[in-house]
Amino acid sequence: MTEPLEAIEFLARSPNRVAVLRAVADEPHSRRALREETAASQPTLTRILRDFEENDWIRRTDEGYTATPLGGLLADGFADLLTVVETEQHLRDVAPWLPTDELDIGLTALHDAMITRPTTTDPSGPLKRALELTDDARDHRILSYALNRDMVERLHAATVKGTQQFEAVVTDATIEPLRDAPALWTQFRAVADSDTVTIRVADQPVSFAMGVADDTVYFLLRDDGEVLRALVESDDERVLRWAHDTFERYWETASPLDV
């Protein structure tokens, strides 16, 4: 195998090859341990070990089979490639609505993100999930260009009647529709006047809706027609750090809300 793609194809054609290489890269394994861990047949495992030894990816030691430095390098690289491909497949249906222009930490940080999509039986599933995340949060931040009735009502319950610390950066366009609904505007003003709440108005466009409920970051993804398409949530430390940094960047230039 002289070409890089040949090596990738060689490994990718067999899950057993990948499993064996990753196993021996973590720690030495006996032949028996490899059979138990990978469920590969004896002839299959024999061929894999022979091929790996010929390529100088593994070697036999007193402790069992272990990866060579080249084998370890290949195992790490292939694991990274798998993560990239898995992330692409995981985010494929929602990627068009993610704030990728702002998200400068790499999409692989969302590899394990939970995605809630509308369904026929539960078309408001994404919003319901967002409300679940925020209902019990002790600390809640929002950076958004939209606030709907349900969110305002939950914020009212959590801040005016509860103990939630709430900070928000919103736009003028976020607030104006609330003024046209007297009951909703009364609730929003009560939220804004709460001792545990600070709301600012952004002096620049906000093109996405993001929240941080305690240690969970959530994105409410809407299409160009403002239809809610998905909720993406993550507790990855990279995403959480990015979310707070991004919020602070908008917060620093925003103006206090004057209701």
User: Do 46 and 127 sit in the same domain of this protein?
Assistant: no
pTM over 0.85: no
User: Do 32 and 116 sit in the same domain of this protein?
Assistant: no
Question: Locate tokens 């929003």: which residue?
Answer: 188
Q: What is the DSSP letter of 107?
A: G
Q: Which of 43, 58, 87 is the last residue in one of the domains? A: 87
pLDDT (0 to 100) of residue 136:
84
- Continuous H helices in the chain: 4-12, 15-26, 31-38, 42-54, 69-91, 125-135, 149-155, 172-179, 182-193, 237-253
pLDDT digits (tens, 9 = 90+) for 86-95: 999 999 999 9
User: Do 68 and 119 sit in the same domain of this protein?
Assistant: no
Q: Per the structure, how many domains does the chain have?
A: 2
Q: Max CA-CA distance within the chain?
A: 78
**What is the rounded average pLDDT of the residues 77-96?**
91
> Which structural domain, as residue segments, surrounds residue 10?
4-87
Q: What percentage of the chain carries pLDDT values higher than 70?
A: 99
Q: Which of 69, 87, 105 is the last residue in one of the domains? A: 87
Contacts of 24 (CB under 8 A, 6+ apart): 34, 58, 64, 65, 66, 67, 71
Q: What is the DSSP letter of 158?
A: I
CATH code of the domain in which 48 resides: 1.10.10.10
**What is the rounded average pLDDT of the residues 198-206?**
93
Q: Which of 87, 121, 137 is the last residue in one of the domains? A: 87
pLDDT (0 to 100) of residue 160:
87
User: Do 147 and 213 sit in the same domain of this protein?
Assistant: yes
